[in-house]
Structures are given as C-alpha cells and as structure tokens.
Structure 1
C-alpha cells in the first residue's frame, strides 16, 4: 500500500457526517481492509466528527471541521480538528460506572479510546488524532 495523505473540510452540520461515513466506506474498499477495522474506524471517527460538530463548534455552520487522514500498510491515522475552545479530555467520567449510566455525555470519548489503538489530544482537545493499526 502506498502512503496516502488527504484533507477534507466541511461546515459544522450533522448531515456532513455522511461525508465521513462515505470516506471510510471508500477507504475500506480501496485498501481491502478487514471488517473489524472498518467497524472500529466507522464508530470512532464518526463519533469524533460528531463531537467536533456538536460540542466543539456548537453546530455553528460558519465554523469548519477538518479531517486529515493517512493510510499505509501498517496503520490508518485520522485527525479531527474543530474551531471550538476545547475541553478537559483528561477528566471524562467513565460512562460504564453506575453513577454515569444515565448521563448523555462522555460516551463518545470513551468509545474513541477503546476503539482506536492509540489516541492523542492537542489544542485543549480541539484536535484529536486516532491511530488504527492494520494486522499483518
């Protein structure tokens, strides 16, 4: 597989999540990725983009979400950048604890942590990079 680096950008509207879903579908077909990786990518990246649109940019259509992605024979890397002020990504409550089961926030970050092989937050959380390793 050759190294591919790309960028897409769109306004902060939830309908634009379809762009990312199609991108992941296309990448998985093009690179013949296993269904396990497809499922992890789809859930984690869509959750990250949804967070950027809804929580980061507060559904402000004038604010953009940027998705950078790169794929080679060892890994797929997705970076999601919003124009929000960020959040305290070090203090996300565990949604599996009984006291948090009814809360609607925190599940997306929890999922992203568990689905990606590695995850990094920058710019106070307004930039997140997820790594998904491709088994040999």
Structure 2
C-alpha cells in the first residue's frame, strides 16, 4: 500500500517529490486517468503555495501532505507552518485587471480542478476532495 503522508522541507527544489508521491498513490488506488491530471496539478499547486507563500521558503519549516480515501472520495490535505491567509482575499485571476499579473492562479486552479475545496487552520491547510 502507498504511503499516505509526505513531509517536505520548504525548499522549492523539493516540489518534484510531489509528482512521485501522487503517481505512487494514484497507481495503488487505481485512480482514473481522467482525474489524475486534476489531482497532480492541484496537489502541486497547493504544495508550491505552501512552500513559497505559506512558509516563505523557510527550510526550517515543513509542508505536510496527507491523503485518505473513503468510499469513492479521495481527500488530500496540504498544510504549512506559515501565518495563514484568507482565500477570499485572493484577487480573481480571471478579471481583466488581473489577467496579465504573474501569480495568483494557484488557488483558482485548485478550486477549478478539485470537486470540493476547503481551507482550515486559518488558511494553513487546504483540503481538496476528488470524486473517484
């Protein structure tokens, strides 16, 4: 059985470990190939946000990825040790005034690609659910 948890140092170079982790559990859980890209992109974006924005690339802090499956729902939690944030305050990247801005799309992408998204722990944890 796949590991259900991965803990990374807040180093942008560690982001490639996410793909191996997702690939491993996707294979073990026989994740549908149509859903797999949504899961991979969402988890990668969440971890990237946690490393860069949450933990400010502080290598003394960690990002924790946890997953569990109940019936046909895969739940993935990504948590950082930062100050948290309010996802409602993130500018909508689809508005004309934000189209050319760099960044600000991770939260939007996660919301578009996941079936259910919830932020807890003052924004330090994002919970993504995917209907399998």
How far the C-alpha of 1:5 sits from its partner, in A, is 7.7
Q: Aligned partners of 1:103 and 1:124: how far apart in 2? A: 25
Deviation by residue 1:9-66 (Cα, 9 ceiling, x = unmatched)? 1210112112211011112222222122110001001000000000000000000111
The TM-score normalised by the length of structure 1 is 0.90
Deviation by residue 1:64-118 (Cα, 9 ceiling, x = unmatched)? 1111111244011110110100112112211111110111232000000010000
User: Is the partner of 1:86 in helix, strand or coil?
Assistant: coil
Query: CA RMSD for the aligned pairs?
Result: 1.7
1:32 aligns with 2:30: yes
Q: Aligned partners of 2:43 and 2:120: how far apart in 1? A: 16
Alignment of 1:88-127 (within 5 A): 88-127=86-125
Contact 1:5 1:70 in 2 (8 A): no
Q: Aligned partners of 1:103 and 1:64: how far apart in 2? A: 28
- Aligned pairs, how many? 132
Gaps of 5+ in 2: none
The TM-score normalised by the length of structure 2 is 0.92
User: Is the partner of 1:77 in helix, strand or coil?
Assistant: strand
User: Is the partner of 1:90 in helix, strand or coil?
Assistant: helix
